[in-house]
Amino acid sequence: MNGLYSFEIREGQTSNGRYFKGSIERYALNDHIEFYGFELKALHDFTIYLKSEKDSALYMCFNLAPKSPLTLNCDTNNIVIPSFSSVLIPNNESETMSFNCDPHTSYDFLILRIQRSHLTAEQLSLFQSLQQDTIFMDVSTPERVLLPNLELCEMARRIKNIDKTTCENKFIAQGYSHILMGLKIKEFLSCSNKMGVLQPFEIQQLKNISEEIKENPQHEYSIKELCKKTGLSVSKLQLGFKEMHQCTVAIFIRNQRLEKALVLLRNTNLNVSEIVYSVGLTSRSYFCRIFKKRFKCTPKCHQQKLKESLRLVS
């Protein structure tokens, strides 16, 4: 992959103060899957080129920026990828793809490259049938494939943010890559995306409030408060959480409280009752019940196992 004019993107992170501020990163997850992450603000007009052998790979591109559309050039086609949308490109007719970057514009996107040799005969047959239906690159009907999809973008962001230098995290990133491919194909086959009713700024509000809940799960949230903060109706708020997190608002808050409780059990000397109040709950029995359901172990048992493990290590 060659970038910015004659600028080559190597393994790891790359910066270039002449054309942009920010970073571009490239990692090979294995011999078949490569990852490219872009988070930058363009200082001048430039083009990012992706070059590969003809008919060699599938590309998935995810635009994670809340405001900036992303323009993809492939052969004679120009595809504008809106915020929180994605596109899957089989790359069997064009040897070169490129992205146009406008000055003073911020970009945040992810590209996954999967070699065709990594796919089974059944998977290759599926892609060929989809291409015959022109579902991939039909720019005359972009609404079929370029609707916002929070579930896909949330998964793409996980790959982008995970530390891919360790072996165990490379396994995790590979798993996410396959999930993304499956979800994108599922989206194509269904040809329906409920998130089309949400505007990009509403999707960004959902992302912001999700991060706030993750940071402060102990707060006593109410649907009315969340709707006021995001400017969303109750139905759009619930729809957004179901698409992004595959659960309701209440279950998302509960899960974040359990995750924080797990951290406190591992890293503090607080007893179970103290942890219950620290995560915003008031009933110890309720906490123990939902903790056991989620982690298949009671809080006290988990704490004892941790102490035993530390004793063995020391």
For 193, the token pair is 């995306």
pLDDT per residue rounded down to tens, the chain (314 residues): 444 443 455 666 676 777 888 888 888 888 888 888 999 998 888 888 776 555 567 888 999 988 888 888 876 677 888 888 888 876 654 457 788 888 899 999 999 888 877 878 887 777 776 665 544 444 444 444 567 777 888 889 888 888 877 888 889 988 999 888 888 887 777 654 444 567 778 888 888 899 899 999 999 999 999 999 999 999 889 888 888 888 899 999 999 999 999 889 888 888 899 999 999 998 999 999 999 888 888 888 887 877 777 666 55
Contact between 16 and 40 (Cβ < 8 Å):
no
- Residue 73, exposed/middle/buried by CB under 10 A (0-12, 13-18, 19+)? middle
Give residues with Cβ within 8 angstroms of 201, minimum separation 6.
66
List the domains of the chain with CATH numbers.
Answer: 2-197 (2.60.120.10), 216-313 (1.10.10.60)
Q: Is the pTM of this model over 0.85?
A: no
Containing H/E element for 60?
strand 57-63
CA distance 184 to 173: 16
Contact between 303 and 272 (Cβ < 8 Å):
yes
Q: Is 25 helix (H, G, I), strand (E, B) or coil?
A: strand
Q: Spell 126-142 as b/e; 16+ CB within 10 A means b.
A: ebeebeeeebbbeeeeb
CA distance 247 to 134: 33
For 238, the token pair is 């619930």
Pairing of strands 106-115, 70-74: unpaired
